[in-house]
Chain A
Amino acid sequence: MSEPLILGAVAYDDKVVSIWEGFKSYFFRRGLEFDFVLFSNYERQVQMHFANQIHIAWNSPLAWIQSQRIAASSGRQAHAMCMRDTDRDLTSIIAVRSDGPIYSVAELKGKKVAVGAPDSPQATLIPLHFLTEHGLTPDVDFEVVRFDRLAGKHGDHIGGERDAALALMRGETDAACMIDSNHLLFTQEGTLQPGATRVLARTAPFDHCNFTVLDGAPADLVNRFRDLLLSMSYADAEVRRLFELESLKQWLPGRTSGYSALNAAVDRFGVIAPFVTKVAAACG
C-alpha cells in the first residue's frame, strides 16, 4: 500500500467521524489513498501541521490565519486550496431586543453585549472588532458577556451563539453577536421569538473555513485530492449525504481575499500572537 494523504480535522461534533469516514471511502474508491487524524482543538492541529504530521488541514478561518502567520515567520508557504460554497461571503450580525431602546451602535455604550467562544471569529472576534471600528472598545465602553462552549474549536460548535441569543431573550444582555446563518436558524427554530429582536448592525462579508496546504506536501496526492473535491457533485447520492453533513452544495477553489476583517481583529486583540510565536520558533 502506498503512503496515504493525511488530513487533519477538528472533532467539534460526533458527526465529524461520519463525515471523514465517508470522504475516506469515496476517495479510496477513486484510487486516492486517504486517511484522517482528528484533533480536539485547532491549535494542536496547526502545531501538528507544521510538524509535518498531516499533509492538509481542514482549518477554521482563525486556524488559517495562524497557519499563514506561522508560515510567514518561519519561511514556509501556506496555501488555501479549497473551500465550501457556504464558506464565502458570510456576515455577522449584532441583534438587540425589538422593544429595547437601542437603535444605533453608539447606544451600546455602557451596555452588555453577549458573544460566543473567545476564539470564535464569527461570534466574538469579528463583531467585537466591528464595534471597535465604530468607536466602542470592548470591556471599556461596554461589557462583554462571553458564552464559551468548547474552547479551541474556534466557534465551530453552535452552543455559544445559542447561549448568547438566549441571554438576549432573557434580558440578561442588551445585544448578542452571531453569524447570519445562525440568526436565520434561531429565528426559524424559535430560539429568537418572532418579532422579538432587531438586527442592529451587520459586518462586511468575510470567508470561513479552507483546506490549508503547506509547502512540502506530496504534490501528486494533494492535486489528486483537489481534483476529486472539485469534481464532487451534489447530484451524486453518496456525495449528497456527505455534503449535507458538512453543509455545502459544492467545493470551490480557495481564496484568501475574505479574511481581512479577521486579520484586523487578530491584530487588534492580539489573541494569537503568543501561539504563532511559539510554533514558529519550534519550526525554526
Chain B
Amino acid sequence: MRVDLDLGDLGFDEGAALLIRRALRASPPGKQVLVTGCAPDLDLHIESWCRSEGHEVKFRRSNQQTHAVVTCGSAPATRWLDAQRAGLPNPAVTGAVSDHPSRRWGLAARGALVESNVPEFDFNLVDRAKVWVPDAGHIYTLATAAQWDPATAIPWQAQFESDTEIEDAVVQIMTYLIENETAALMVPSRFIAQLHPHFQEVMQVLAVQAADEARHIEVFSRRARLKRDLLGCSTSGGQESLKTLIDEPDFAVSSFLLSVLGEGTFLSLLWFLDEYAPDPVTKMVSRLAAQDEARHVAFGIAHIREHLANHPGKREQLTNAIRRRHDRLHNTSGLNAEVFDALVHVAAGSWSVPDLRCGYGRVKRLIAEMHDLRRKRLVQLGYSDEEASELSGLHTRNFM
C-alpha cells in the first residue's frame, strides 16, 4: 500500500523530515510514500535525507513540483526490535519497579522504551531490595510541599536585645549545627550518584534532603553572623564522629546511622532549641529545620524497615555498625564541652545559680529524651526493648 504525503511548501529547514518520518513510522521495509511538495531544494534534501536514513528514493519530475517515491528501508523497523521497557511509571503497579534494573537502561525514565545499544552505566545501587521504599513518592510529595524560603520564612528583621554571653552560646550552637548539617548533606548526595535512577522516587527524596540541608546550613550560618563576624569552635571529637558517617560505604547502614539514629536525635535537639531559644530568629530556624528533619527520619525508618523485611540478616550488620562506631569513637570526647555548656546556658537564660540549675536539668532531660526516642525507633524496627536500650546507649555522644 502506498501513502501520499503532500508537504506543500514545507522544506527541510522547517520540519519536512518530521512528516516524512511520521508517514514511514512503523512501516515494514518496502512500504512506499509518495512525497509531493514545492519547497526550494526539496529534491536535494529528500535524496540526502533518504540516503542517511537508509531509504530508497526515486523522483518523478513534473512542473515545479517534487514527486518523490520513498521506499522504506529496513533500518527503522529493526531499530526498536530488541528495545526494553524500563518498568512502568506508576510504582504502585505490580512489577513497575524492577528487582534488578539493567545498567543499560541508564538514565531513562522509568517506563520509557530503551534502545538496546545504550551504554552501560556504573551505578552501584541497583538492587530493589536494598534501596526501594514504597512510600518514597509520598514522602517526596510532602517534602516538596513543605519547602520554605529562608528569605521570608525567618524574621530576620526582628529586633531583639541579647546578652553578650548568650549570643556567644547561640553562635557556638549554630557553628555545631552547620558542621552536622554539612555531613547530612554530603551523605545522601554521595548515594544519589550511586543509585540507579530507575528508583526515581528514592533519588528524589535524597535530592530534596540534600536541598533541605543546604537550606539549614544557610539559615544557621546567617543566624550565627547576625551579630558576630566570627563563628565558634569545631572540635576534633565532633568531626571524628561525623567522619564515621561520611566514611560509611553501605547505603542501608549509612541511612540507619545518619537518618534513624543521628537525625532522629537531632530532632530532639532542634525542638529543644525551638523551646528555649533566646530570640525569635533562633527559634524559627530551629523549628523549620526540625520539621524537615522529621521527614528525613521518617524516610530513614521506612527505608530500613523495608530493607529488613527483604534481608532479615541485615539486622546483625546494622547492630554491628552501631557497636563498631561506638568502639571507634570510644576514646574521643564526643559532644564538645563548648556546645554542652552553650546548650545549658541558653536553656538557663542567665548565669544565676537557680537559672543555671534549671538549664542544666533541661539539658539532662533532653539527653534522656533523645535516648528514649532512639530506643523507640529501634523498637519500631523490630529490636527488643532490651536490645534497643543497649544500642541507643552506644550512640555517639555527639548526637548526630
Binding site for B on A (CB under 8 A): 85-86, 88-91, 93, 180-181, 183-184, 187-188, 192-195, 198-199, 202, 233-235, 237-238, 240-241, 247, 249-250
What chain B residues lie within 8 Å of A187 (beta carbons)? 11-13, 41, 45
A138 → B minimal CB distance (Å): 23
B14 close to chain A: CB less than 8 A: yes
The verdict on A184 contacting B73 (CB below 8 Å), with A85-B54, A233-B78, A235-B81 known, is no
Report A255 CB to chain B, min CB distance, Å.
Answer: 16
Q: Which of B77-114 contact A (CB under 8 A)?
A: 78-79, 81-82
Q: Is the CB of B49 within 8 A of A184?
A: yes
Q: Could you say which of B11, B14, B48 contacts A181, with CB atoms under 8 Å apart?
A: B48
Instruction: Say whether A237 contacts B41, CB under 8 Å.
Output: no
A8, chain B: closest CB distance, angstroms: 26
Give me the 9 closest cross-chain CB pairs, A-B, nearest first: A249-B54, A235-B78, A237-B116, A194-B13, A237-B117, A241-B117, A184-B48, A180-B48, A187-B13
Q: Of A195, A199, A247, A249, which contacts B44 at CB under 8 A? A: A199
Q: How far is the CA of A250 from the CA of B40 in the complex (A)?
A: 30
| Docked-complex contact A234 and B44, CB < 8 angstroms | no
Judged by DSSP, the binding face of B is helix
Chain B residue with Cβ nearest A188:
B12
When distances are taken between beta carbons in the complex, the residues of chain B under 8 Å from A193 are 13
Q: How far is the CB of B332 from chain A (nearest CB, A)?
A: 51
- Min C-beta distance of A194 to chain B, whole Å: 4
Beta-carbon contact of B14 and A194 below 8 Å: yes
Interface residues on B, range: 20 to 34
* Complex CA–CA separation, A237 to B44 (angstroms): 31
A117 to B65, CA, bound (A): 35
B17 within 8 A of A: yes
Given A181-B48, A184-B44: 19 more A-B contacts, CB < 8 Å: A85-B54, A180-B47, A184-B45, A187-B12, A187-B13, A187-B45, A188-B13, A188-B17, A194-B13, A195-B40, A202-B44, A233-B78, A234-B79, A235-B78, A237-B117, A240-B79, A241-B117, A247-B52, A249-B73
- Answer yes or no: B234 CB below 8 A from chain A CBs: no
Min distance, Cβ B36 to any Cβ of chain A, angstroms = 19
A89→B51 contact, CB < 8 A: yes
Residues of A within 8 Å of B117, CB to CB, are: 237-238, 240-241
- The CA of A235 and the CA of B116, in the complex, are separated in Å by 10
- Tell me, rounded to whole Å, the shortest Cβ–Cβ distance linking B283 to chain A: 56
Bound: A282/B52 CA distance, A: 40
- Cβ-closest chain B residue relative to A234: B75
Q: Are the C-beta atoms of A180 and B13 separated by less than 8 Å?
A: no
A181→B82 CA distance, assembly (Å): 29
| B147 adjacent to chain A (CB < 8 Å) | no
Complex Cα gap A207–B115 (Å): 32
Q: For the complex formed, measure the closest distance between the CB of A182 and the CB atoms of chain B, giving whole angstroms.
A: 9
